[in-house]
Amino acid sequence: MNAPVTLHAAATWTAPALVLRPWCADDVTALVEAYRDPGLRRWASPPVEGAEDGLRWVRDRERDWASGTRFGFAVLEETLGAPAVAGHVVLKGVGPGKPSAEVGYWTAARARGRGVAPRALDALGTWAFESFRADGLECLELLHQADNAASCRVAEKSGYAFGRILPSAPPSYPLDGHLHLRHADDARSALSASSASSALSGLRPIVQP
């Protein structure tokens, strides 16, 4: 599959709905701005220093789509004005006969605290299983460095259960990592289950990371 895809995630009580679509050249300015955040630069690679790097990054994502094995989405918040880039999610390593694939993400600093990552990952995971389970996809993996506590919380909220500790492998992976897993046989998305739980508990609002 390499045709463009658009995904959606519902609004919450405190945050707008999300649209997920392939990156394009019009996103370069927002991408460069997002990469100015030291917190993002710590975890994401390669660095994006300016417009030239940003356009190269976008063209790489377009080639990924053309390859049919890696699918990166710009995550946009549906605001009153033009939709604003709030983050990125990616499905990678998918292919015929492969039982597992990996997901990754980042959230722009200005959009943190509004549940962007869990909602975007939930939409991505649902699409991944609907699109590739017939080809053998049964499990999605989310990996992060062991000292990234925020990613642990996002994984749990997105339905990715902790699997095991991955030993360090310097120099590329200087610290241990965590492997989280989400299986195709999960009956409902983590966000749907959390919403149902809140309803049964007196409609208490869900606090997103």
For residue 174, the one-letter residue type is P
pLDDT at res. 3: 78
Give Cβ neighbours of residue 72 (< 8 Å, ≥ 6 apart).
Answer: 22, 23, 61, 64, 65, 88, 89, 90
Q: Give me 22's structure tokens.
A: 């392939």
Query: For residue range 27-66, what is the model confidence (pLDDT) as tens digits?
Result: 999 999 999 999 898 878 788 999 999 999 999 999 999 9
pLDDT at res. 4: 81
Q: Check: CB of residue 154 under 8 Å from CB of residue 180.
A: no
Range 192-199 average pLDDT? 40
- Is residue 196 over pLDDT 70? no
The dihedrals phi and psi of 20, each to the nearest 5 degrees, come to: -115, 125
Mean of the per-residue pLDDT values of the chain = 87
Sequence-ordered strand ranges (E) for 78-168 = 84-92, 100-107, 139-145, 161-166
Of residues 69, 83, 89, 80, the one with CA closest to residue 22: 89
Which CATH fold would you assign to the domain 7-200? Answer: Aminopeptidase (3.40.630)
pTM of the model: 0.86
Give Cβ neighbours of residue 158 (< 8 Å, ≥ 6 apart).
Answer: 117, 118, 121, 122, 125, 142, 182, 190, 191
Q: Provide the residue ranges of all domains of the chain, joining segments of one domain with +.
A: 7-200
pLDDT at res. 190: 53
pLDDT at res. 45: 78
Burial 146-161 (b: 16+ CB within 10 A, else e): eebeebbebbebbbbe
- Is residue 187 over pLDDT 50? no
What span, in angstroms and rounded, lies between the C-alpha atoms of 75 and 119?
10
Task: Indicate the pLDDT class of residue 139, thresholds 50, 70 and 90.
Answer: very high
pLDDT at res. 13: 93
pLDDT at res. 1: 64
